[in-house]
Amino acid sequence: MPTILFTTTQHTEHSHHHPEHAGRIDAILSAIAADPTCVATHVDIHSVPPATIERVHPASHRTWVLAQSAAASTAPQLDGDTYIVPGTATAAHLAASGACNAVDAMMQGNPSFALIRPPGHHATATTAMGFCFYNNVAIAARHAQATYGLRRIAIVDIDVHHGNGTDDIFAADPDILYISSHGWPLYPGSGAREQMGIDAGVGSTLNIPLPAQSGDQAFVQAYRDVVVPALDRFVPDAILLSAGFDAHWDDPLGNCRLSVDGYLDICALIKDAAVRLCHGRWCAVLEGGYSIRALAACTHGLVRLMSNLPRTTDLLGSKPSDPHRADAVIQWLVQNHPLLRPA
Ligand SMILES: [Zn+2]
C-alpha cells in the first residue's frame, strides 16, 4: 500500500542560511522520486483551523508567532538558534496542519508521513525555540483524541535531541505516553532519565538519554528492552512517530552514530508494536535531520518500511561503536521506570 506523503510548497517561504532550510524537503522528495519501486502518493497539506492548533498552544502564542513573523523582515533571528521570516507563520501553521492530515490518513487505514517544516518538538505551549514554533506532533495527538475519540496516544521521538516541548506539554497527562531517545548531553539539556512526568502523568514520560557516540546496537537494545516493553504496558490506541534523523552518524548537529539501517531497525520495532497493539495505527511527522544525504536516505527507507516494501542497501554504511554504550541507562530504566519495573 503506498504511503501518503503530506507536503506543501509553502514551507519554502520559511528558509534561511541555516541547517534547518527548505532544501531538506527537496532532498527527501528527490530520493523518493528516484526510486521507481517506492510508490508514494503526494497530497497537498490541507490547512486546519486555528482552533486545532489552540488545543495545544494558547491563542496568545499564535498571535505572537503571527506578529513576530510579520515584523521579521529586518531581524530574522528569534534567538541564538531559531530564525523567523515573513513566511514563517504560514509555514508553521501548515506544518501543524500536515501532522493532523497524517492522523486523518492513518485513521482511514493508510500509511502516512507528514513531510513538514519547521519542525515542532522543541516548541512548548507558549515558547518557540530550537527551530520550532508550533508543536506539530502534540497538535496531531490532540487532534486524534478530539476528532476520532482515541484516548491513549504514544509519541515516540527518535530525533537525537530531547523533545522538551512535547515532554512539557504532556508531562501531567496520563493518556499521552511520550518516549524520547536522545543523545546526551546535547541541546536543549533536558530529558534526564529521572524525568518521568509529573502529577497524574508520572510514568507516562520515558526519557532515554544515550551517551554520545551510541550506535546501532545500543539504540536497538534500548528500543527492544525499554521502548517496546513500555509500549506493550501502555497499550496505545495509536503511535505517532516524531521522525527526526539527526542521530545519524553523518549529522553535523547530532552526537550519535546511528546508520540508516539502525534507524530502520528501530522504526521496524515501532511498526511491529503498532501492528500488535493498535491495529497498525501509526504515522510519522518529520522533525530534525541536517545531513541532507542521511535525512534523504533515512526518510526514503522509512517510507518503504511504511509501504511494506523490502529494505534497500544502506549506501552510507555505518560507523563502529561500543555495543554496550547504553547498558547503564537501560538497566536503570528497567529497574526504576513505572512502566518497566516489575509490578
Ligand atoms: Zn533534532
Mean pLDDT for the chain overall = 97
CATH number for the domain harbouring residue 281: 3.40.800.20
Q: Is residue 342 part of a domain?
A: no
Whole-angstrom distance, CA of residue 45 vs CA of residue 61: 22
**Helix, strand, or coil here: 183?**
strand
**In whole angstroms, what is the distance from residue 128 CA to residue 110 CA?**
31
- Please, which residues bridge with residue 180 across strands? 157, 207
Q: Residue 79: its pLDDT value, please?
A: 83
Pick the more confident residue, 120 or 74. 120
In a domain, 17, yes or no: yes
**Per-residue pLDDT tens over the stretch 163-190:** 999 999 999 999 999 999 999 999 999 9
Query: 136-148 and 88-107 helices cross at what angle (nearest 10)?
Result: 40
In terms of residue numbers, what domain contains 205? 3-336
Q: Is residue 295 part of a domain?
A: yes
Tell me, in angstroms, the distance from the centre of ligand 1 to residue 231's CA. Answer: 23
Alpha carbon of 122 to ligand 1 centroid (Å): 9
Are the CB atoms for 143 and 120 separated by under 8 Å? no
Average pLDDT over residues 279-299: 98
Residue 289 domain-assigned? yes
Q: Is residue 223 part of a domain?
A: yes
Residue-wise pLDDT tens digits, 229-251: 999 999 999 999 999 999 999 99
Closest of 50, 36, 46 to residue 6, by C-alpha: 46
With a threshold of 0.95, does the pTM exceed it? Answer: yes
The residue assigned the cell 509490578 is: 343
Q: Which residues are catalytic?
A: 122
73 falls in which pLDDT band (50, 70, 90)?
confident
Q: Tell me phi and psi for residue 209, to 5 degrees.
A: -80, 115
Do the beta carbons of residue 148 and residue 231 sit within 8 Å? no
Expressed in percent and rounded to 5, the helix, strand and coil fractions of the chain are: 40, 15, 45
User: What is the tally of structural domains in the chain?
Assistant: 1
Ligand 1 centre and the CA of 207: distance in Å?
15
Task: Tell me the pLDDT band of 75, cut-offs 50, 70 and 90.
Answer: low
Ligand 1 centroid to Cα of residue 119, in Å, is: 9
Q: How many CB atoms lie within 10 A of CB 172?
A: 15
Has residue 341 been placed in a domain?
no
- DSSP letter assigned to residue 182: E
Region 25-39 average pLDDT: 96
Within a domain: residue 343? no
